[in-house]
Structure 1
Amino acid sequence: MEKEEADAIAALANGAFDVILQTPLVGFLSIGALVLSFVIALFITRRLKRVRPITSRIRIVIDYLSTLVLAILIMFAFMRTFSGTLANPLVFVLGGLLLSFLVVRLIGMIVELIFKPHDPLRSILRVSSVLFWLTLLIYLFGQWNPTVKGFFDAEYAIGDAKISAFAILTILFFAAIIIIVTIWVSEASQRYLHKRSGLQPNLALALERIVSVTIWVIAALMIVSMAGINLTALAAFGGALGIGLGLGFQKLAASYISGLILLFERSVRVGDNLVSDRITGKVTEMTIRYTTIHTTDGLDVLISNDTLINSTIFNETLSDNNVRLEFPVTVASTTDLYAARSIFLAAVEKQPRVMKDPPPQIYTASIENKNIKLLARFWINDPSNGRIGIISDINETVLDEYKKKGIDLA
């Protein structure tokens, strides 16, 4: 900062302190006018938010600017009305602070309107704007305070490099901007790939993950480079660290690689119905590391992708949704076989979930110990709705009809 600018800030700050020290009543009234302006502005802002209808963009503008703009206007009105009391350096300093904060909030509003961040990024952005403003004020007014100025100008050793506190704050500020832009680009690319009708869901998901990781790696390298860290030394350190992590995180690496394999080869997709020795359910989410299956018991099971690849899994909906079910009914050998088969077939055909093509079949599976075992085979096209329900309905219908016809179950 130039010496003339620092002297001007120092003179303005000294004038504001002189008002407080020499005329406490004027200082109290000046600060009171500012507080009253904010109270009135907050009240009006809350009333504005209750107006219906209000779009999301207008709400963002109100959140960022309404209170500050109204407070500045009300404060200006107070100054015009009570110019003899409020026209003093303290009010000018307070007004300047409000205007500088308004500029920072305006920038934050533009960023939010363009990038449309979601929570918690939106909250981080709004808090960051306040912190940036406070840091800027401390830096500017610290130019006339030797202690604060010494803090910002002092250089701190980080390894072989030296960096000042102001440089650290600058790096953090630009790093925050890079992170916000990175998140926006990542989300925008994911939305674009998700909307591409020509891409299979699994391929789109795999590309989303790859693009997201690539963008974050580039952002990290930009931040590291901005901080002045030697990338050559970092590469050597990363190589040694990679060997150690590779030995310790083999299982995690296997899950990530398996996730990419699953996403690209499309042997398992979101919406598929999977059956194994332990679980049966529908795939609801696939990530690089794990796959989420919503079981028929209502539980969400997270299975690591390497386990999914190395296990025997039945995918009931890989080629289509058609699944064949079968279950037996055993009757006495003295039973009218034709009547028993007809009732059994009618009970199966009665169920709305049973497919008409191919049609259900009833077989005489075996004759053992004076009993006849009948076997029903039929197809359904909604395995994700479960199996036990339809089998239970058929059993109840068969039992009722057999009782009416006097057919005994063995």
Structure 2
Amino acid sequence: MTQSHILSRMLAGLVRDFGQPVMIWQALALVGALLVAWLFARLVRRLLDKRRSARHEAARFGAESLHKALFPLLGGGLVWAEQAVLADYMSTSLLDLALVPLFGIALIYIVFFIARRVFNRNGQAHAWLSIAEKMVSVAVWVGMVLTVLGIHDDVLHWMASVRFRVANERMSLLSLSTGILWVCATLIVAMWLGSVLEDRIMRARSIDANLKVVLARTGRAMLVLVSVLASFSMVGIDITVLGVFGGALGVGLGIGLQKIASNYVSGFIILIDRSLRIGDTINVGGLQGIVTQISTRYTTVRGLDGIETLVPNEKLITDVVQNHSSFLTRGYAKAAVQVAYDSDIEKAMALLAEAARGVERVLEEPAPTPYFVSFGADGINLELGYWVEDAAKGTAGVRSTVNRNIWRLFSEHGVAIPYPTRDVRIVGALPVAAATAATATTAAAVPAAANEGVAASPPAQVVELGTDLAHDAS
């Protein structure tokens, strides 16, 4: 192996300096630089922790990787400065070797930080994150090993010698690898910038929520498009070939991807015209629920039973959608009740109004109002009308509470809710046993009705039974 190789210089220097005083001085310089870097990195980490806000989840996610990159990065910088200063006075073979892992590990953690900012969903790791981190780790460690061994130049020459043809272009393994690396790097940087832009837009208070989503997604898409075009230009690919791809994409959209494209366009229309917002209660196609997420392809609607349904955006554009949260979030409910004819009607109506006061979600304005509805067959029909806040969430619990209050107040103040009463007139003589049983039943029913507080109502229906009833009874 020739002296031009890094391995030869490193090994020759290490072998030459081993056991010499210069090795001790290099070790002391290396340890000192690492100690200073560790203390400074710890100070910087504390300052960053104080400035970090708990509400900025995207900024917090992956910050640990950036903290871990501070020590090797600062250590590498200090060791490089020492190597530059001491190179004129003594051998720096140990410092040269230490620079490789320090900058390599720092690069790994920096890429981890960027990847976790790119592949995050509100602080949750994306499925691609683990794969990206493993690929970066393997690539960087391979590069460090090749650098330490001093054979990276030989590997690059071999990759450049492997040539092949792609369409009308002649490419080498080195140019292909470099192109893929540039494309990945520019995409990651673009997605990182898009994540930062989205975080800034989402924190703005003067912009509408739907407009925030539109601006964030449009900005990220534009950054990705620019990065792809720039990376193609760096690799040497003529971007005019994208015109053919665009034509093929248009044909594909017209044939097989029409629904998908329609959903994406509908999603942007919904976000731009602000017809729906997150938190709105809607009813579409018999599905009623709360909008929890509006994406470019579908809208997530959480039903009143807690089940989330993905509704295609095209359906929200073409179908009739009832938005219960657009202007009026309250709903009207009523409770119908009947009281006996001998009850104090004014008192009963006052108790009805009192039954709705203090109930959760029942609005005080407009105030609950009782109504004298009609004269019924067995009593007077009354009705209580009241307004319920956020009626789209359901009114069954509110109505149940109001009805229980009505029952309790009527019982406490002696307002009777009548049972239906009927007079039965028997025509013709009955046998003695049947007559005795009928008399006993009537005598038992009268005290029971009196104990229940049932008031007799004036209207009564007369049912005449012929002699056939007597024969049946016998």
TM-score (norm: length of structure 2):
0.63
Map of 1:186 onto structure 2: 194
Q: Deviations over 1:185-229 (max 9, x none)?
A: 212322333233332212222222222222222222223333433
Map of 2:331 onto structure 1: 324
Map of 2:470 onto structure 1: none
TM-aligned CA distance change 1:151 to 1:109, over 3 Å: closer
Q: Deviations over 1:125-152 (max 9, x none)?
A: 686265145247548844675x774234
- Distance, in Å, in 1 between the alignment partners of 2:135 and 2:373 is 73
TM-aligned CA distance change 1:109 to 1:276, over 3 Å: closer
Q: Deviations over 1:69-104 (max 9, x none)?
A: 889999xxxxxxxxxxxxx9xx95x86454123234
**Shift in Å at residue 176 of structure 1?**
2.9
After TM superposition, list the pairs within 5 Å mapping 1:91-130 onto structure 2.
Answer: 92=93, 96=96, 98-107=98-107, 117=117, 119=120, 120=125, 124=132, 128=136
**Shift in Å at residue 281 of structure 1?**
2.7
Does the Cα contact within 8 Å between 2:104 and 2:144 map onto a contact in 1? no
**Shift in Å at residue 112 of structure 1?**
7.4
Q: 2:353 aligns with which of 320, 345, 348?
A: 345
Map of 1:220 onto structure 2: 228
Letter of the 2:405 counterpart: T
Q: Helix, strand or coil: the match of 1:117?
A: helix
TM-aligned CA distance change 1:375 to 1:282, over 3 Å: farther
- Distance, in Å, in 1 between the alignment partners of 2:78 and 2:220 is 45
Map of 1:173 onto structure 2: 181
Q: How many residues align?
A: 375
Letter of the 1:408 counterpart: I
- Distance, in Å, in 2 between the alignment partners of 1:275 and 1:143 is 64
Q: 2:162 aligns with which of 154, 158, 171?
A: 154
Q: Which has the larger displacement, 227-236 or 199-208? A: 227-236
RMSD value over aligned CA atoms? 4.6
After TM superposition, list the pairs within 5 Å mapping 1:3-402 onto structure 2.
Answer: 7-10=2-5, 12-13=6-7, 55-56=48-49, 60=65, 63-64=68-69, 66=71, 92=93, 96=96, 98-107=98-107, 117=117, 119=120, 120=125, 124=132, 128=136, 131-132=139-140, 134-135=142-143, 138=146, 141-142=150-151, 149-276=157-284, 278-321=286-329, 323-331=330-338, 334=341, 336=343, 337-365=345-373, 370=378, 373-383=381-391, 385-402=393-410
Q: Which has the larger displacement, 195-204 or 325-334? A: 325-334
Q: Helix, strand or coil: the match of 1:391?
A: helix
TM-aligned CA distance change 1:220 to 1:312, over 3 Å: same
Does the Cα contact within 8 Å between 2:114 and 2:192 map onto a contact in 1? no
TM-aligned CA distance change 1:385 to 1:63, over 3 Å: same
Does the Cα contact within 8 Å between 1:328 and 1:373 map onto a contact in 2? no
Q: Deviations over 1:345-389 (max 9, x none)?
A: 211123142222222223345556546554433223334654222
Identity of paired residues, percent? 24
- Distance, in Å, in 2 between the alignment partners of 1:60 and 1:369 is 80
Does the Cα contact within 8 Å between 1:326 and 1:375 map onto a contact in 2? no
Letter of the 1:160 counterpart: N
**Shift in Å at residue 269 of structure 1?**
0.9
Map of 2:57 onto structure 1: none
**Shift in Å at residue 161 of structure 1?**
1.2
Does the Cα contact within 8 Å between 2:282 and 2:322 map onto a contact in 1? yes
Q: Which runs of 5+ in 2 are unaligned?
A: 20-26, 53-62, 80-90, 420-474
- Distance, in Å, in 2 between the alignment partners of 1:335 and 1:350 is 29
Q: Helix, strand or coil: the match of 1:244?
A: helix
Q: Which runs of 5+ in 1 are unaligned?
A: 1-5, 27-33, 75-87
Does the Cα contact within 8 Å between 1:273 and 1:383 map onto a contact in 2? no
Does the Cα contact within 8 Å between 2:260 and 2:297 map onto a contact in 1? yes
More helix by share: 1
Letter of the 2:190 counterpart: T
Does the Cα contact within 8 Å between 1:340 and 1:407 map onto a contact in 2? no
Does the Cα contact within 8 Å between 1:283 and 1:291 map onto a contact in 2? yes
- Distance, in Å, in 1 between the alignment partners of 2:232 and 2:282 is 44
Does the Cα contact within 8 Å between 2:160 and 2:174 map onto a contact in 1? yes
Q: Helix, strand or coil: the match of 1:407?
A: coil
Does the Cα contact within 8 Å between 1:274 and 1:313 map onto a contact in 2? yes
Does the Cα contact within 8 Å between 1:182 and 1:216 map onto a contact in 2? yes
Give structure 1 regions of 4+ aligned residues with deviation exceeding 6 angstroms. 15-19, 67-74, 110-116
